[in-house]
Structure 1
Amino acid sequence: MSLPKRVVLVGPMGAGKSTIGRLLAKELGYQFIDSDRLIEERCGANIPWIFDVEGEDGFRQRESAMLAEMSEVQQTVLATGGGAVMKLENHDYLRRDATVVYLRTSVEQQVERTRKDRNRPLLQNDDPEAVLRNLFRVRDPLYRDLADIVMQTDRKSPRLVVRQLLNRLKPRSPRHKRRVKKEGRNHA
């Protein structure tokens, strides 16, 4: 088993995709790409401005184009926006030559991690927790369906999550494989 050509991180806002993605890319020796930041760089505008001017549909079209382009770039860790899973065409882009990791977190953790962040247009209302609960209800099944690996991030440091991910992504040594096979025979 070899390392995946790409690692794609999906999950809700506040799950740690950018922080964990940066650390994971460094450990793997891969390039880190944050799809939201790349869209902002190319547009010369932040996401709230894009939402204001083009609406969510306009932003999602930009996001799909970016994901299609990034699906061809190997040796990357790609952190996606929380809503990237909403368009079915994106599912192929996310899976292409990739291991998809769902960074799962509770709504309570999302509320805590996003409470002061003004760069999240969907949460700029009177009841962000209700929005997060609704998004979780709709998106969680999509994240799970796409994921090769599901990692819970609640009350875990980003470094611990990365260590756990590395254990699941990195190929085992031949010595380890022999030991596992021997142990399996001893229990038979």
Structure 2
Amino acid sequence: MNIVLIGFRGTGKSTVGKLLSKRLERDFIDSDQYIESITGKTIKSIFEDDGEEGFRKIEADTIAELSKVDNKVISAGGGVVLKEENVRNLKEKGFLVLLEATPEIIYKRISQDEKTTQQRPSLTDKTPLDEIRHLIAIREHAYSNAADYTINTSYVSCEDIVNEIITVENKQSN
């Protein structure tokens, strides 16, 4: 069974995923990094060249491929839940953990992350904080419907989040 981390960018999916995979001695796969490695392009350049629709097609193909692996920790892109097909594929062999945080915390985290600010596209014409609020509101229902378990990461250490995921996943497995 895979542990799949879903949620908006800046909620801790990659950081928590790497720690979790180390603790569980499982491989870690970041779906956005995987897309960048197979296309040879950044997510931002894919959006610029192919638009969001083109990116979502590549993302869906990637999720279909990654859904076939087992016993991994997968960090899924923030918009992966927008397609029901992606959620269905991930749930076949995965326990989906939604990581959430307040828009203000997300904004603070992503504005401090050079890779995010340089390589992630803006998806609206809004200010960064307003864009975060807007997109979370649009995706909130899809996130909650997809999640098997939810953790708010706003004021919790990564170590505590990892411990909680391991505890919950152990209960699921038994």
Same fold (TM over 0.5): yes
State the distance in 2 between where 1:29 and 1:95 align.
21
The partner residue of 1:46 within 11, 36, 42 is: 42
User: Is residue 106 from structure 1 mapped to residue 93 from structure 2 by the alignment?
Assistant: no
Pair 1:132 & 2:137 matched: no
Which residue pairs with 2:10 in the alignment? 14
Structure 1 residues 129-168: aligned runs within 5 Å: 129-168=129-168
Amino acid in structure 2 at the alignment position of 1:155: Y
Measure how far apart 1:124 and its partner are: 8.0
Gaps of 5+ in 2: none
1:27 aligns to what? 23
User: Is the partner of 1:112 in helix, strand or coil?
Assistant: helix
2:128 partner letter: P
Q: 2: CA distance between counterparts of 1:48 and 1:146?
A: 25
Superposed displacement of residue 168, structure 1: 1.2
Amino acid at match of 1:167: T
| CA apart distance, 1:160 | 1.4
Radius of gyration: which is bigger? 1
Matched length: 169
Q: Distance in 2 between matches of 1:19 and 1:25?
A: 10
Return the TM-score normalized by structure 2: 0.91
**Aligned twin of 1:122:** 122
Q: What CA distance in whole angstroms lies between the structure 2 residues aligned with 1:171 and 1:58? A: 39
Corresponding position: 1:80 with 2:57: no
Task: State the distance in 1 between where 2:142 and 2:168 align.
Answer: 21
- Partners of 1:113 and 1:71 in 2: CA distance: 28
1:68 aligned onto 2:83 = no
1:155–1:123 Cα change, 3 Å:
farther
Moved over 6 A (4+): none
Q: In structure 2, how many angstroms separate the alpha carbons of the residues matched to 1:167 and 1:95?
A: 19
Within 1, Cα distance between the matches of 2:152 and 2:126?
28
User: 1:94 & 1:109 partners in 2: Cα distance?
Assistant: 27
In the TM superposition, what is the alpha-carbon distance from 1:45 to its structure 2 partner? Answer: 1.1
Please provide the CA RMSD for this pair.
1.7
Equivalence for 1:183: none
- Structure 1 residues 6-56: Cα deviation after superposition (integer angstroms, max 9, x where no partner): 111100010000110111111112110000000000111111111111111
Q: Could you tell me which runs of 5 or more consecutive residues in structure 1 were left unpaired when the two chains were aligned.
A: 175-188
What amino acid is aligned across from residue 49 of structure 1 in structure 2?
S
Question: Letter of the aligned partner of 1:137 in structure 2?
Answer: A
Contact kept? 2:124, 2:131, Cα under 8 Å: no
Higher mean alpha-carbon deviation, 122-131 vs 135-144, is at: 122-131
